[in-house]
Amino acid sequence: MGEMVEFASNGGTATGYLAVPESGQGPGVIVVQEWWGLVRHVQHVADRFAAEGFVALAPDLYHGVSTTEPDDAMRLLMGLAMDTAAKDMAGAAHYLQDRVEVTSSGVGIVGYCMGGSLALWAATFSTEIVAAIGYYPAVPWERMEPKWSNYQGKSAMIHCSEADGTSQAAGIQQAWAAIEAAGGDVEVFDYPGTQHAFCNDDRPEVYDETASGLSFGRTLDLLRRRLG
């Protein structure tokens, strides 16, 4: 359904997987990878958003590198230059806004695990991102130093697994309070009995079909409310 594209970022170019709905147009949404990289699962997630009517772009934040090994994924995450990742996500938002297929004024962003944190962060520095959804965000905010005050007038949603401490986890509480204090709308959901990465159907040891379906429906509701 999708194809690899290039877009401007950081004075150069970045790449990403773009999926367009059958209708040929729709609101724009960025899909941010887990720590594995731009693997086929992430492309499937972008395809799934396209099937729901969104123009979905998954930027390759590791620039051509991916892995299936946890140790390698940890090294990739720890080596990720946050300033470059920020520019890649902002570039992805700008690219979507410039696409003729994108019908929305402003774009959404959805991320998982590492990408959950990055997605919530992205709304603090990109004016074109108006709705951010983070699934079980896993990166300490200190690595990003988000300017939460920029959430004024924006929307956020956080999906929390039980294994990560639910919505009572310190990082979730910090983001929740800061977004509300900034004048943003935020919804936070717990999924009892779930493991981290409960939406990844390529990992049967953690996948939870019920929680995945419920959270996806809530994500779509937010994106449609904000983007049309």
**Cβ contact 24:68 at 8 Å:** no
Average pLDDT over residues 9-16: 92
**Number of neighbours of residue 214 by Cβ within 10 angstroms:** 14
Q: Decide: 129 and 196 in contact? Cβ < 8 Å.
A: no
Contact 114, 122 (CB under 8 A): no
Q: What is the per-residue pLDDT across 140-167, written as a single tens digit (0 to 9) for each?
A: 999 999 999 999 999 999 999 999 999 9
Using one digit for the tens of pLDDT, what is the confidence trace for 43-92? 999 999 999 999 999 999 999 999 999 999 999 999 999 999 999 999 99
Tens of pLDDT, residue by residue over 100-122, are: 999 999 999 999 999 999 999 99
Distance CA 119, CA 172 (A): 14
pLDDT of 11 higher than 90: no
Structural domains of the chain ordered from first start: 2-227 (3.40.50.1820)
Q: Which residue carries 């919505």 as its tokens?
A: 167
Nearest C-alpha neighbor of 40 from the set 29, 31, 51: 31
The Cβ of residue 52 has, within 10 Å, a number of other Cβ atoms equal to: 17
Do 169 and 162 form a contact (C-beta atoms < 8 A)? no
Question: Span 201-216, mean pLDDT?
Answer: 98
